[in-house]
């Protein structure tokens, strides 16, 4: 690693400080690639697994496919963006069209049909197919927006520190919206969205519509408010060849090392990003999704507030220490955050998790902001060496590597969940049982005795609950025989379920409204222990979620030592 004294850069020739309204307008564009991109990737896996009962492994597999498609679409979009010639510039039209496409596809991906007439196996494959189809459309729309948006950020200023300011705004505001990931999960679990007897799958259908109401007007704002300084000159610039642009990017040493640093670290955290939700819900709160929702939301809020505060030390440190040293500080903060989780994952004091959240948020914001800003410096270096300046192609190539890591991470995440022996059938089965009991309890929600017309509805819900309980009893018996890891746990759950089945038998044995039906809320309380996963499962989740990112962060820190673009080198190549 470069240990030379910090260098004070010379002021760039002709550099102009961008007005705040421009910085803010550009920064709000982080809503798409930072917030919505991660919301889709994280919640579709979580909700698909614990809400629809789909296999975590196959969800991980289908999450790879859009990233593999990115390998084709990203470079093409970047090249097309570099060579588009319109009266509005070559980048801004993508902000409008891509933003609207993102909003529409984000809504439609959550409307997963239930296929009531299909067999269980056929239903799962059809639901996986629906999710995959709309994920492909959604991620393509994100790329149509993000690659031109990122390239525009690199060409809006020739000042390396002004680029850091632009990408700081994008990171901060993107993370501000990203805090909505856990809050969206919490909202989707509210009865006003999911309805009586529904779950988070039903809730997300309507929560996603709220998101689209925000994104569509913003797409028009981004198109109108983000300037494209080079629009006039690029109309006269000769178009470039696709493979020549890719060759320039992939033979640049600084580019390859920067990609290696970002790829390695981001892969480590992408591997385990979903496990944090599982740990919060099933370890800190024993499987109580509604109780875990507020902590997930508060944690997301603290993440965003920390991101706001981290912008200021980032913009102070980077010009003084140089981007390379500041990046090393960011990686160190993320390692410290993972180590803190050893003590802060405590079911007795669940809110201790805000401590690693603060460290991780600060480190992540600084890391990914500097990565994008340093890519602009690499673009200057590439122009100095080759005489070509293709921000779109370079930005696309950069994200091509990162997304390949994300694709691999999606597969690994599903495999890691399988490795921990997490029981998604237990989660979805108890949800179904609780939902039927809740629907039956809703008949008494006004506190009175329902009339005779409601008796068939009540008995139908109670009998459905009895069938769901019988299915879970059979599942626990089968798992106890098949899995030594969960044997004792499944036997204990089966023993807990026996008296509940007996109560449901008593409630459904009478032709009229059972006199004890008003006590259904008590029955719901007795169902809570059945949501707990086996201790060995939760131990494996914590070990993996903490340890894997530490290992890959250390490798990333080692690679950073070989990055060649020091501050003094940038002074010699700056336009």
Regarding the domain delimited by 20-232+242-422+534-573, which CATH topology (the fold level of the hierarchy) does it fall under? Answer: Growth Hormone; Chain: A; (1.20.1250)
Please tell me what DSSP assigns to residue 448: S
Distance CA 427, CA 46 (A): 11
pLDDT by position in tens, the chain (length 575): 444 444 444 444 345 677 888 888 888 888 888 778 777 777 787 788 878 888 877 887 787 788 778 777 877 888 788 777 777 878 888 899 999 999 999 999 888 888 887 788 888 899 889 889 999 999 899 889 988 888 888 778 777 778 788 888 887 787 677 766 667 777 888 878 887 777 788 888 888 888 889 899 999 998 888 877 765 555 555 555 555 666 666 677 888 898 889 888 988 888 887 788 889 888 998 888 778 888 887 887 788 788 778 878 888 888 888 888 999 999 999 999 999 999 999 999 999 999 999 999 899 888 988 887 888 777 777 666 666 656 667 777 777 777 777 667 767 777 788 788 888 888 888 888 888 888 877 776 655 555 566 667 777 888 888 888 888 889 888 888 887 777 888 899 889 888 888 888 887 776 666 655 556 777 888 888 888 888 888 898 899 999 999 999 999 999 998 988 766 666 665 55
Report how far residue 30's alpha carbon sits from residue 135's, in angstroms, rounded to the nearest whole number.
19
Q: How far is CA 182 from CA 154, 296, 377, in A?
A: 31, 5, 35
**CA-based angle 340:42:176, to the nearest 5?**
70
pLDDT for 525 equals 82
Q: What is the DSSP string of 137-163?
A: HHHHHHHHHHHHHHHHHHHS-S-HHHH
| DSSP state, residue 538 | H
Any idea which residue has 């998101």 for tokens?
211
**What does the pLDDT read at residue 510?**
66
Q: Which residue has the tokens 């997490």?
A: 422
User: Which pLDDT value is given to residue 6?
Assistant: 44
pLDDT for the residue numbered 149:
87
Residue 420 Cα distances to 35, 256, 275, 424, 485, angstroms: 28, 34, 10, 11, 10
Nearest in space to 182 (alpha carbons), one of 62, 55, 66, 278: 278
> Which helix (DSSP H) or strand (DSSP E) does residue 242 occupy?
helix 242-250
Domain ranges in the chain are: 20-232+242-422+534-573, 426-531
Predicted pLDDT of residue 13: 38
DSSP string, 364-420: HHHHHHHHHHHHHHHHHHHHHHHS---HHHHHHHHHHHHHHHHHHHHHHHHHHHHHT
Yes or no: say if 354 and 335 are a contact pair by the CB < 8 Å rule: no
Q: Give the HSE-up count for residue 50: Cα atoms under 13 Å, Cβ half-sphere.
A: 23
393 contacts: CB under 8 Å, gap ≥ 6: 75, 78, 79, 82, 240, 242, 245, 246, 248, 249
């Amino acid at each position: 690693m470069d240990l030379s004294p910090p260098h004070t850069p010379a002021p760039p020739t002709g550099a102009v400080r961008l007005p705040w309204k421009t910085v803010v307008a550009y920064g709000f564009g982080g809503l798409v690639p930072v917030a919505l991109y991660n919301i889709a990737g994280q919640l579709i896996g979580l909700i698909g697994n614990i809400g629809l009962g789909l296999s975590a492994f196959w969800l991980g597999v289908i999450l790879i496919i859009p990233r593999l498609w990115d390998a084709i679409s990203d470079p093409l979009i970047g090249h097309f963006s570099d060579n588009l010639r319109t009266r509005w510039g070559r980048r801004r039209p993508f902000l409008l069209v891509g933003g609207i496409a993102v909003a529409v596809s984000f809504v439609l991906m959550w409307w997963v049909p239930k296929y009531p007439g299909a067999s269980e196996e056929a239903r799962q494959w059809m639901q996986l197919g629906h999710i995959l189809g709309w994920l492909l459309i959604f991620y393509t729309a994100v790329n149509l927006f993000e690659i031109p948006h990122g390239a525009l950020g690199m060409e809006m200023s020739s000042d390396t520190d002004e680029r850091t300011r632009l990408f700081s705004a994008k990171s901060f505001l993107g993370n501000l919206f990203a805090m909505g990931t856990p809050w969206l999960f919490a909202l989707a679990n509210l009865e006003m969205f999911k309805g009586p007897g529904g779950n988070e799958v039903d809730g997300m259908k309507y929560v996603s519509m709220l998101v689209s109401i925000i994104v569509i007007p913003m797409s028009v704002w981004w198109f109108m408010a983000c300037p494209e300084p080079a629009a006039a000159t690029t109309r006269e610039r000769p178009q470039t060849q696709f493979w020549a642009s890719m060759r320039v990017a992939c033979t640049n040493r600084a580019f390859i090392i920067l990609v290696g640093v970002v790829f390695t670290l981001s892969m480590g955290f992408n591997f385990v990003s979903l496990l944090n939700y599982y740990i919060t819900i099933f370890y800190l709160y024993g499987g109580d999704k509604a109780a875990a929702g507020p902590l997930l939301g508060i944690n997301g809020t603290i993440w965003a507030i920390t991101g706001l505060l981290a912008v200021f030390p980032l913009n102070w440190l980077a010009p003084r220490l140089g981007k390379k040293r500041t990046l090393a500080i960011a990686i160190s903060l993320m390692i410290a955050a993972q180590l803190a989780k050893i003590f802060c994952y405590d079911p007795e004091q669940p809110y201790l998790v805000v401590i690693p959240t603060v460290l991780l948020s600060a480190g992540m914001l600084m890391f990914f902001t500097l990565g994008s800003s340093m890519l602009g410096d690499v673009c200057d270096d590439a122009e100095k060496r080759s005489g070509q300046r293709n921000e779109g192609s370079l930005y696309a190539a950069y994200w091509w590597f990162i997304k390949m890591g994300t694709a691999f991470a999606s597969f690994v995440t599903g495999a890691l969940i399988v490795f921990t022996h997490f029981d998604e059938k237990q989660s979805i089965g108890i949800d179904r049982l609780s939902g039927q009991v809740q629907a039956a309890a809703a008949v008494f929600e006004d506190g009175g005795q329902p009339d005779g017309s409601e008796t068939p509805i009540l008995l139908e819900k109670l009998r459905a609950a009895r069938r769901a309980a019988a299915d879970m009893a059979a599942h626990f018996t089968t798992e106890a025989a098949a899995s030594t890891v969960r044997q004792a746990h499944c036997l204990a759950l089966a023993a807990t379920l026996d008296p509940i089945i007996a109560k449901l038998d008593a409630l459904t044995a009478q032709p009229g409204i059972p006199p004890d039906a008003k006590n259904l809320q008590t029955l719901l309380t007795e169902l809570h222990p059945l949501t707990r996963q086996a201790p060995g499962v939760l131990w494996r989740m914590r070990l993996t979620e903490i340890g894997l990112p530490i290992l890959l962060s250390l490798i990333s820190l080692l690679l950073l030592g070989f990055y060649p673009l020091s501050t003094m080198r940038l002074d010699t190549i700056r336009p």
